[in-house]
Chains A and B, each alone.
Chain A
């Protein structure tokens, strides 16, 4: 099996429309990246600045982390695209199991004093 699978191509089979679409997608991705950098800086400022109380900064930076998580997953890792049904199912089940894992470990271990 596998005829010509290891041979390079001279050009791309992409149609003009597909190329335009890809350039748009690229612009969206770069915008998403700029936004991620922005919220990362925001998170660092929220913690470094004396003016913002710690009790407010923690939920705020956790929210920013969730936003960035979804941006990375949906845009950079293409979970938003069609034909990503199974990848979405895998990540949803991963997160579904992760949440109780983090919470129960935190509470169980935190109750014991070392």
Chain B
């Protein structure tokens, strides 16, 4: 059986500290866009989540 948290933001990856203040999900700060892509990919692969772009410098990883 597939057990896990779905429909939830698992993590936030951002390059702009100002756009995320507090979150129930862990926040990862990336130095640049390239690193943000990489970190988001790694988290998504580990959690089987999907990466979504919020266009404000932050990515969220959501498990659907």
Q: Do A and B bind each other?
A: no
